[in-house]
Amino acid sequence: MTTTVELTRFRVAPDRADRLLAARPAMIADFQADRAGFLSAKLVRVSDDEWLDIVEWRTPEDFAASRAKGANLPGIRAFFDLIDELVSMEEGTTIR
Tens digits of residue pLDDT in 14-26: 999 999 999 999 9
Q: Considering the entire predicted model, what is its pTM?
A: 0.94
Higher-pLDDT residue of 52 and 1 is 52
pLDDT band at residue 1 under the 50/70/90 scheme:
confident
Q: Nearest 5°: phi and psi at 16?
A: -110, 5
Q: Centre a 10 Å sphere on the Cβ of residue 62 and count the other Cβ atoms it contains.
A: 18
Find how far residue 46's CA is from the centre of its chain.
Answer: 15
Q: Which domains does the chain have, with CATH numbers?
A: 4-93 (3.30.70.100)
| Average pLDDT score over the chain | 97
Of residues 77, 11, 63, the one with CA closest to residue 35: 63
